[in-house]
Amino acid sequence: MGVKVKCELLKKEMLVDGIYKFSVKAPEIAKNAKPGQFLEIKVSETGEPFLRRPISIFNIDGETIEFIFQVKGRGTELLSKIEEGKQIDIIGPLGFGTYKVQEYKNVAIIGGGIGIYPLYELTKELKGKANLNVYLGFRDKSLVTCEKDFEAIGLNKLVVTTDDGSYKEKGFAIDFMKKDIEEHMVDMIFACGPLPMLKAVRAYAIENNIPCQISLEERMGCGIGACLGCAVKVISGKEPRYGHVCKEGPVFNAKDVEI
Ligand SMILES: Cc1cc2nc3c(=O)[nH]c(=O)nc-3n(C[C@H](O)[C@H](O)[C@H](O)COP(=O)(O)OP(=O)(O)OC[C@H]3O[C@@H](n4cnc5c(N)ncnc54)[C@H](O)[C@@H]3O)c2cc1C
Ligand code: FES
């Protein structure tokens, strides 16, 4: 269970139009955070909107936590207006299902859009434990972020794709991943991104018998298992049942959930 803390906004940066990176001082959260976990952030002082917004942890650096978000609606719009030096009310780290970091031989890490952010801390932690091939897919050039951050980790391979070919490779990241896996098998795929991408990655992994962990960034309400706002069909037991993405996830073994 996460802790509720007031965190000072140390640095605010607009990476591209509408996408912001916040660095906050959060020692209580940083000391326990694991790759794939998220924060529930209060976006205004007024209590409106009522619900906190879930945002993934991008980077943990000592006592500092970084997160990156795209302005989608009122909540993230309000969040983007907070100024450096102000306090932000954050609960974290949340989620019991995290990416499993251990020794692997070859790993493929695939992210799409805002789904690339929880994969950065994971990639950092896997460095030295596996050969890392990372595939980052974006709709177009205007949404490309964090390429340099991933590059700086020191990867075996980094592929950046845009659907329309306006930057780097044209097409879907999954197709580049599949082509590489045909040549060199991987022993784990880690994924996070929009639902159509996750469905395709899950299907491919199951079909080819490749272990795969996916992060489901479903829409959430409370973030702590109290509202059923994040139900997902879990098919790992004898009988299918509905589980909570916020508590049991957000990371699941691909074969254990139906999406
Ligand atoms: C575990 C988790 C981790 C997340 N991590 C990040 C992150 O690192 N960076 C980031 O930018 N966003 C992330 N999100 C998505 C983020 O929480 C939503 O974009 C945000 O809550 C939207 O709030 P809003 O008030 O601005 O928009 P709202 O007014 O609530 O919604 C505006 C629009 O965004 C859509 N929307 C809202 N939530 C989601 C969602 N979860 N997925 C897709 N579309 C949505 C709505 O359907 C609507 O069309 C994450 C979500 C979850 C559940
Ligand atoms: S968000 Fe409320 S139960 Fe998961």
| Model pTM above 0.85 | yes
For the CA of 43, the nearest atom of ligand 1 = 25
Domain that holds residue 22: 3-94
Chunked into runs of 10 residues, the chain (259 residues) has average pLDDT values of 93 98 98 94 84 94 98 96 97 91 96 98 97 98 98 98 98 98 97 96 98 89 82 92 91 96
Residues 78 and 115 in one domain: no
The pLDDT of residue 16: 98
d(CA 78, CA 43): 6
Distance 69 CA to ligand 2 centre (A): 20
Task: Report the CATH number that the domain containing residue 143 is assigned in CATH.
Answer: 3.40.50.80
For the CA of 225, the nearest atom of ligand 2 = 3
The pLDDT of residue 28: 97
Count of Cβ atoms closer than 10 Å to residue 52 Cβ = 22
**Order of strands, edge to edge, in the sheet holding 64-70?**
53-56, 38-41, 87-94, 3-16, 19-25, 64-70, 59-61
H helices of 82-117, in order, are none
d(CA 117, CA 31): 19
| Main-chain phi, psi angles of 15, to 5 degrees | -75, -50
For the CA of 221, the nearest atom of ligand 2 = 1
Verify whether ligand 1 is closer than 6 Å to residue 56 (CB atom).
Answer: yes
The pLDDT of residue 106: 97
Q: Does residue 239 lie in a domain region?
A: no
Verify whether ligand 1 is closer than 6 Å to residue 117 (CB atom).
Answer: yes
The pLDDT of residue 96: 85
Task: Report the CATH number that the domain containing residue 42 is assigned in CATH.
Answer: 2.40.30.10
Residues 128 and 209 in one domain: yes
